[in-house]
Amino acid sequence: MEGKEEADEKRMGVVLSSNNNKRAKIQDDDSQPQTNNVVSLRNKHSEVGERIAETGFYQSMELTTDTPICTKTSKYQTIEVHQAKHYGKVLMLDGVIQLAERDANAYNEMITHCAMMAHDNPQNVLVIGGGDGYVLSEVLKHSSVKHVDHVDLDGDVVEICRTHFPWRDAWEDPRVKLHIADGAAFVANSKHDFYDVVIQDSSDPYTCCEDGSLVELPSCVLFTQDHFRNVHKTLREKGVFIFQSECFQIPSDLDCIVKWRKQVLDLGFHHARYGSITISSYPTGQVGFLLCEKDRDAGDHTTNNKHTNHPGDLQQQSSSRIDQRFQEIVKKGCSTTYYHPRLQKSCFDLPLWVEKKIYGDETRTTQTETQNN
């Protein structure tokens, strides 16, 4: 695809020399064991990392000497599993880190439980993407769940993760039906008013070139207005939609967050809030999601949101319900290690400059109301 090589400069697997901390490209040197993304360095250490062209940000992770554990080129992408010295096993797709065992709990627990707890009684759940299976395993911790459709485009990702990661048994749960299919097409052909929660755990939809232009990646179809409309249709009256929404520290990502939020609100979701997650293996150590709710009165589930106020007793009742449901998960021996009920609200508290960018006048209204109170 035209512009692909240049676009890969934004987020790609690179090797960073430990001597001068500059980006080093892979060389065709048969004397060195290498993959598309990792090469043994002179000090016998290997590192895999990412470069964000528009911010000049570099990040790398040190690997063990016996990596990679697995590498395969599927119909859609190059899949790799590496062993990091401090981050455990690392899943990479086309040179981009998707998951590292040490902090995978942060993203996967938050994008799952913030959505599940935002619904009073989630029974039918759709997981789009997330071929590693971690989100699916978190969904199954909720006893209210009766059925989960898990849709992922690349069956090779599922099979590799079944082999190499500890949550491999999630697909064996009788409540789960796995579909190796295009997520957007699956949603377009789904029943209307069927799902209580839709969780979209996708890879990046765009990449940014040096000149600032955006190049579409395969997942971009999951971020279109048509797809959001189809998600809205397949959700029940009080349905919840949550989707991976990139990093507010990267300018092109922040612009997309603003655009996506406007799109889902225009389509009929009554609330759309950006929640932030701290995760050190992702660029800048931060990633987020948009939590979108069809229920007009749903705001008290999550946050003193930017454009509605709810009576304090409603917020207290909702908080108590979430605490109770969380304790039920703990008693079952299925506790979390990152998510806890207080984050159901606090993850939506953002730096002021980010709030102003995402919410605009809504932020100023909230500040005025706070001062008056």
How far is it, in rounded angstroms, from Cα 255 to Cα 289? 14
Q: What angle do CA 150, 129, 58 make, to 5 degrees?
A: 155
295 is catalytic: no
Nearest in space to 127 (alpha carbons), one of 61, 69, 65, 173: 173
Neighbours of 317 (CB within 10 A): 12
Is 259 in contact with 223 (CB distance < 8 Å)? no
Task: Pick the catalytic residue from 8, 103, 196, 201.
Answer: 201
Q: What angle do CA 291, 296, 300 make, to 5 degrees?
A: 65
Helix axes 251-266, 352-359, angle to 10 degrees: 40
Buried b (16+ CB within 10 A) or exposed e, 289-312: bbbbbbbeebbbbbbbbbbeebee
Is 10 in contact with 51 (CB distance < 8 Å)? yes
The DSSP result for 290-307, as a single string, is: EEEES-TTGGGGT---SS
Nearest in space to 114 (alpha carbons), one of 98, 135, 99: 135
Q: Give 244's strand partners.
A: 289
- Catalytic residue positions, numbered: 201
